[in-house]
């Protein structure tokens, strides 16, 4: 009997022809790709965005969760509502009141982190090829979600006050003139990830007035708003209009990301769609986590805890600012975040932060190259530096190592005549002026 020869599979991935076309836009996040090396103990990582939750009252949280299981285990370990548990939705209203939002628990859907809320919003609104406007630079995780739904991201320029209203108008008009629909404008008005920029209240008013005039929905992503370091929490865009805004919130930075609890506050018709999307995605958001957070909010001084986080991040932010002033070469500029986790550093013409990231690792410091935060390949002269996780001393040391990396690059470029030699000489000693530079986007 002839036994058929076993076919030898030569392709690395035998399913390569089977994947959905929407997977073609997906690529490994630059941030994640860096994690493996950046997390080595000898490297100072200014690359990640992990909240520093070591100061949480872990014994109190542990005891209250144990008690919760004993008292209500059968309920909190079961399936729950697709919209989320009522008690936590009421508490979320209290949290949002700190940013002047008046909302009903009925208009909230709880999600598996605000990342999932963004996913639900995108799957609800976006067909392949639809346009999403996004401020530039923008959160890498949002760009990943938009790519997964095959959206066409059009960036809108921002300056140190946030999105430029005229750029928003021009982009909307241009997209519509091309016969396409703008599905929404995505913005992180508080301490933008990655730039740290805070949108001024005046800009928020202008933006919402324009959204009403142009009839464009705004998706306001706000995980960092309560981590304002030099000022009180700012009024959310959602506090100025309830019809044109989907607001996304999260407990990841004000409590702990491991519970994976975030939410969306949406106009009633949109909310119904999001609940249906949630049912098909996960049946319901994590019930156990919602109860754990509810318990924390009702038994612990969570506002006092946020104040502790603010002091801790303020100290870290200040260490980074000192380090940049002391160690950056002339020609480098950077933002001065008033909250959140991130600084955006921009280098003179000709520098490439993607290439520099490998050199930085040899100097035992890691950052995230700026191109990760643009859908259109811009940002190569910039990098995101995060100050949320390392100690202030390590942050300062990280900026020193980054300065060393940049000086080495400047010297190399000067050797090959690629850089103004004065820059190289100044670079040996000076700290650069601090200001904001963001690449321009004209649609």
Ligand X SMILES: Cc1ncc(COP(=O)(O)O)c(C=O)c1O
Three-state SS annotation for the chain: CCCCCCCCCCCCCCCCCCCCHHHHHCCCCHHHHHHHHHCCCCCEECCCCCCCCCCCCHHHHHHHHHHHHHHHHHHHCCCCCCCCCHHHHHHHHHHHHCCCCCCCHHHEEEECHHHHHHHHHHHHHCCCCCEEEEEECCCHHHHHHHHHCCCEEEEEEEECCEECHHHHHHHHHHHHHCCCCEEEEEECCCCCCCCCCCCCHHHHHHHHHHHHHHCCCEEEECCCCCCECCCCCCCCHHHHCCCCEEEEEECCCCCCHHHCCEEEECCHHHHHHHHHHHHHHHCCCCHHHHHHHHHHHHHCCHHHHHHHHHHHHHHHHHHHHHHHHHHCCCCCEECCCCECCEEEEECCCCCCHHHHHHHHHHCCEECEEHHHHCCCCCCCCEEEEECCCCCHHHHHHHHHHHHHHHHHHHHHHHHCCCCCHHHHHHHCCCCCCCCCCCCCCCC
Of 137, 162, 223, 348, the one binding ligand X by CB under 6 A: 223
Of 45, 99, 137, 139, the one binding ligand X by CB under 6 A: 139
- Convert residues 186-215 into a mask of x (bound to ligand X by CB under 6 A) and - (unbound): --x----x----------------------
Of 91, 252, 290, 346, the one binding ligand X by CB under 6 A: 252
Total chain residues near ligand X (CB under 6 A): 14
Q: Binding of ligand X at residue 313 (CB under 6 A)?
A: no
Smaller CB separation from ligand X, 140 or 328: 140
Nearest distance from residue 277's CB to ligand X, in Å? 16
Smaller CB separation from ligand X, 114 or 172: 114
Of 107, 135, 221, 409, the one binding ligand X by CB under 6 A: 221
Alpha-carbon span 282 to 274, nearest angstrom: 12
- Convert residues 90-129 into a mask of x (bound to ligand X by CB under 6 A) and - (unbound): -----------------------xxx--------------
Nearest distance from residue 337's CB to ligand X, in Å? 13
Nearest distance from residue 118's CB to ligand X, in Å? 7
Of 30, 34, 47, 49, the one binding ligand X by CB under 6 A: 49
Q: Binding of ligand X at residue 339 (CB under 6 A)?
A: no
Nearest distance from residue 198's CB to ligand X, in Å? 13
Complete edge-to-edge strand list for the sheet that includes strand 152-159: 108-111, 262-265, 245-250, 218-221, 182-187, 131-136, 152-159, 162-163
Nearest distance from residue 117's CB to ligand X, in Å? 8
Of 162, 189, 257, 390, the one binding ligand X by CB under 6 A: 257
Smaller CB separation from ligand X, 101 or 121: 121
Smaller CB separation from ligand X, 262 or 348: 262
Q: Binding of ligand X at residue 294 (CB under 6 A)?
A: no
Q: Binding of ligand X at residue 250 (CB under 6 A)?
A: yes
Smaller CB separation from ligand X, 141 or 369: 141
Q: Binding of ligand X at residue 45 (CB under 6 A)?
A: no
Nearest distance from residue 59's CB to ligand X, in Å? 24
Smaller CB separation from ligand X, 258 or 433: 258
Q: Which residue is nearest to ligand X (CB)?
A: 113
**Binding residues for ligand X (CB under 6 A):** 49, 113-115, 139, 141, 188, 193, 221, 223, 250, 252, 257, 262
């Amino acid at each position: 009997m002839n036994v058929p020869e076993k076919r030898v599979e030569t392709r690395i991935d035998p399913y390569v022809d089977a994947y959905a076309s929407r997977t073609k836009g997906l690529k490994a996040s630059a941030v994640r790709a860096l994690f493996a090396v950046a997390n080595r103990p000898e490297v100072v990582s200014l690359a990640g965005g992990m909240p520093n939750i070591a100061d949480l009252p872990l014994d109190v949280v542990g005891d209250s969760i144990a008690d919760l299981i004993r008292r209500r285990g059968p309920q909190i370990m079961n399936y729950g509502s697709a919209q989320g548990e009522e008690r936590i939705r009421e508490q979320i209203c209290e949290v949002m009141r700190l940013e002047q939002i008046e909302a009903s628990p009925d208009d909230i859907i709880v999600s598996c982190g605000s990342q999932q809320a963004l996913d639900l919003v995108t799957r609800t609104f976006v067909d392949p090829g639809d346009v999403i406007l996004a401020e530039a630079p923008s959160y890498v995780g949002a760009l990943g979600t938009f790519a997964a739904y095959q959206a066409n991201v059009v960036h809108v320029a921002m300056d140190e006050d946030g999105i430029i209203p005229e750029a928003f108008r021009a982009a909307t008009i241009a997209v519509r003139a091309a016969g396409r629909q703008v599905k929404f404008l995505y913005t992180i008005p508080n301490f933008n990830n990655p730039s740290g920029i805070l949108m001024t209240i005046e800009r928020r008013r202008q933006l919402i007035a324009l959204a009403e005039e142009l009839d464009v929905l705004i998706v306001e992503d706000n995980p960092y708003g309560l981590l304002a370091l030099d000022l009180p929490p700012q009024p959310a865009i959602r506090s100025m209009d309830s019809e044109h805004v989907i607001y996304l919130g999260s407990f990841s930075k004000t409590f702990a990301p491991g519970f994976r609890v975030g939410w969306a506050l949406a106009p009633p018709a949109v909310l119904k769609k999001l609940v249906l999307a949630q049912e098909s995605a996960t049946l319901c958001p994590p019930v156990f986590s919602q109860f754990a957070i509810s318990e924390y909010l009702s038994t612990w001084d969570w506002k006092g805890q946020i104040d502790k986080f603010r002091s801790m991040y303020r100290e870290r932010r200040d260490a980074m600012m000192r380090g940049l002033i002391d160690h950056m070469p002339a020609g480098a500029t950077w933002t001065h975040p008033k909250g959140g986790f991130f600084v955006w550093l921009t280098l003179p013409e000709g520098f490439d932060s993607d290439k520099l990231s490998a050199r930085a690792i040899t100097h035992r410091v890691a950052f995230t190259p700026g191109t990760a935060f643009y859908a259109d390949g811009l940002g190569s002269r910039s990098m995101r530096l995060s100050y949320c996780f390392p100690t202030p001393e390590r942050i300062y040391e990280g900026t020193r190592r980054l300065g060393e990396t940049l000086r080495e690059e400047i010297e190399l470029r000067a050797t090959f005549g690629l850089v103004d030699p004065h820059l190289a000489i100044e670079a040996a000693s000076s700290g650069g002026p601090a200001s904001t530079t963001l690449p321009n986007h004209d649609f």
